[in-house]
Amino acid sequence: MPVERSNVPEQVFRQLVAAVLEGRYEAGERLPPQRALAQDLGVNMASLREGIKRLEQLRLVEVRHGDAMRVTDWKTTAGLDVLAHAVADDPALTGPLFEARRLLLREAARLAAQRRTDGHVKALDSLADGVANAPDDAAAQMADLMFMATIIDASDNLIFSLILNSIRELYLSQLDRFAPLVADRDELIPLYRRAAKAIADGSAARAATAIERLAAEQEARMVGTP
């Protein structure tokens, strides 16, 4: 189906990403010649090439000189930058995403209790209040995001921060989908406060347990488990 004329390269890119991630093209399979793809999508070659270049950057396809474009096994070649697209196209990845989030936050909180500054302590208290007093779910979501980001910042681990950057992009692009994270906030507020206090007290074990409990409650809301 031809794409609309507005922002054509972006739409080409999204259609091709979906085709690869949904398995319409299997790992190792050759993509159709570029002229055939351009004709099928109803776009010019420049727009198609830009879309393909972005697929290469995500390591979803491999283009070798003198050979056809081939789809990669993206689960073994792609990085976190493909996360937002993969989760959007495959809801089954929601469970693994939130499992990874829970485990990441647990270890980040453990480190944060040992490395936090007074600024982090104050920010966590303020953000826990922000979740509690948010006028709506959207505001609560942003306070929740900043609360978790502050824990990761306090952990002083650059790799954790880079992982968060990828998750943040996904989160901000699909806020409605993740609204259950802060639904029925009264049940969650004590968990935010418990985690903030444990980090302030410098108790690594309590901090890890508290944030894992909060993240597990949110995970259950997202994946529908008890």
Q: Is the pLDDT of residue 225 over 80?
A: no
Q: Is the pLDDT of residue 134 over 90?
A: yes
Phi, psi values for residue 5, rounded to 5°: -80, -20
> For residue 167, is it within any domain?
yes
- 92 and 192 share one domain: yes
> For residue 150, is it within any domain?
yes
The whole-number average pLDDT for the span 88-110 is 88
> For residue 115, is it within any domain?
yes
- For 61-84, write each residue's pLDDT tens digit: 988 776 678 899 988 888 877 877
| The predicted structure's pLDDT at residue 67 | 63
- 61 and 130 share one domain: no
- 119 and 203 share one domain: yes
The structure tokens listed for 25 are 């093209």
Query: What distance in Å separates the CA atoms of residue 192 and residue 131, rounded to the nearest whole number?
Result: 9
CATH of the domain at 65: 1.10.10.10
Q: Is the pLDDT of residue 117 over 80?
A: yes
CATH of the domain at 185: 1.20.120.530
> For residue 1, is it within any domain?
no
- 92 and 190 share one domain: yes
Task: Enumerate residues 6+ apart whose C-beta is below 8 A from 194.
Answer: 206, 210, 213, 214
Boundary-marking domain end, from 27, 51, 78: 78
> For residue 2, is it within any domain?
no
Q: Name the amino acid, one letter, at 20.
A: V
Q: Is the pLDDT of residue 1 over 60?
A: no
Show the domain range for 42.
8-78
Average the pLDDT over each of 80-84, 150-154, 190-194 and give the range with the smallest value.
Answer: 80-84
How far are the Cα atoms of 51, 140, 216 from residue 38, in angstroms, in the given order? 11, 44, 45
Q: Is the pLDDT of residue 3 over 50?
A: no
The structure tokens listed for 141 are 């979501």
Domain count, the chain: 2
> For residue 89, is it within any domain?
yes
- 16 and 91 share one domain: no
Q: Is the pLDDT of residue 108 over 70?
A: yes
| The predicted structure's pLDDT at residue 66 | 62
Strand duo 61-62 + 70-71: pairing: antiparallel
- 32 and 118 share one domain: no
Average the pLDDT over each of 31-40, 50-59, 80-89, 115-124 and give the range with the smallest value.
Answer: 80-89
The whole-number average pLDDT for the span 47-69 is 84
DSSP track, the chain: -PPPSTTHHHHHHHHHHHHHHTTSS-TTPBPPPHHHHHHHHT--HHHHHHHHHHHHHTTSEE--TTS--EE--HHHH--GGGHHHHHHH-GGGHHHHHHHHHHHHHHHHHHHHHH--HHHHHHHHHHHHHHHT-SSHHHHHHHHHHHHHHHHHHHT-HHHHHHHHHHHHHHHHTTTTTGGGGSSGGGTHHHHHHHHHHHHHT-HHHHHHHHHHHHHHHHHHHHT--
Q: Name the amino acid, one letter, at 115.
A: R
Q: How confident is the model at residue 87 (pLDDT cuts 50, 70, 90)?
A: confident
- 64 and 90 share one domain: no
Q: Which of 21-25, 76-80, 150-154 ranks highest by mean pLDDT?
A: 150-154
Task: Enumerate residues 6+ apart whose C-beta is below 8 A from 163.
Answer: 80, 104
Full-model pTM: 0.80
Q: Is the pLDDT of residue 175 over 80?
A: yes
